[in-house]
Structure 1
Amino acid sequence: MNAQHDGPDRAHQRPEGLSDTTVEALGSLSKALEMTERARGRLYDFHQLTGGADLELDRAVRLLREAGHPEWAEKVRTEILGRNVIPGHWTFQIVEAYNDTYYEPFKALEKSAVDELAGGRDHLYEAEMKEARRTAGHPAHTARPDSP
């Protein structure tokens, strides 16, 4: 097997002159963005779970009325149903603010750093780690999906 056909594709090869420290820094920046992606997912979990709970309150209000507890039904309806989760905000507004204030600028900065410093070649740190950990010639350790 020709080594040229067994390594990473061009998009995952370090541009000439790019230092180890720069590759490591871009890997760290990418890892931080990935952690932010996970945090953002949890924020959407919060948004959907809180919204689902608020919708379930409609059922609780109805059942409290049916069970003969109109005062409790009204208390739930007026005190909790539709309530802001923090002053002036429903969860969708928190998600929007997070996206606009933190997530989108972070995502754009990470892309700009990869574009400017590594010629747009993403995941160089991981690609080089894969190369260092592969067992040459092993069918489950190929460099690319199209490797023989």
Structure 2
Amino acid sequence: MSTHDDDRAAPGPDAPDATTVEALGSLSKALETAERARGHLYGFHQLTGTADFELDRAVRLLTEAGHHAWAERVEKEILGRDVMPGHWTYQIVDSYNETYYEPFRSLERAAVAALSGGREHRFEARLQRERRTPGGPGPAPAPQDDA
């Protein structure tokens, strides 16, 4: 059985109350936002690395153009520099994952397991049931809905 509530298991006697479902939906939405922030951190990491490698080219071209002092300045002041004191970008990503993301993800999983019987996306499933367009295009009703 899937842990997703895809509308085959509409609320029954063991289902959490509407406020709990809404709270779990909010918790999941917050985690999804943290996932997006995490993605931005990986983008930051990759873009900063790309910029740092491009500095190699700038140093080479400045040297070829005879601008040795500028090439040396770029190399000494920026190339390979910490983005934060004592940190390269991968360390920031690792710290975020270990300090914030993984504990957040674990807590959200534990809350869903404890309060919703492990069934994910009950809030979205409720919205799907409530917002389905009768007879129109959109999410097809699950087989048990036809009964």
Q: Same fold (TM over 0.5)?
A: yes
Aligned to 1:102: 100
In structure 1, what is the equivalent of residue 91 of structure 2? 93
CA–CA distance in structure 2, aligned partners of residues 140 and 113 of structure 1: 30
Give every structure 1 segment of 4 or more consecutive aligned residues whose post-TM-superposition deviation is greater than 6 Å: none
Which residue, out of 19, 22, 25, partners 2:20?
A: 22
What are the within-5 Å matches in structure 2 for residues 129-148 of structure 1? 129-144=127-142
Report if aligned partners of 1:14, 1:118 keep a CA contact under 8 Å in 2. no
Q: Which runs of 5+ in 2 are unaligned?
A: 1-5
Consecutive unaligned residues in structure 1, runs of 5 or more: 1-6
TM-score (norm 1): 0.87
Query: Where do 1:104-119 residues align within 5 Å?
Result: 104-119=102-117
RMSD: 2.0
1:54 aligns with 2:52: yes
The SS at the match of 2:63 is: helix
The TM-score, its normalising length taken from structure 2, stands at 0.88
Change (3 A) 1:43 1:144: farther
Partner of residue 66, structure 1: 64
* CA shift in 2, pair 1:38/1:93, >3 Å: same
Contact 1:14–1:121, Cα closer than 8 Å, also in 2? no
Aligned length: 139
Q: CA deviation at 1:136?
A: 2.9
The corresponding residue for 2:8 is 9
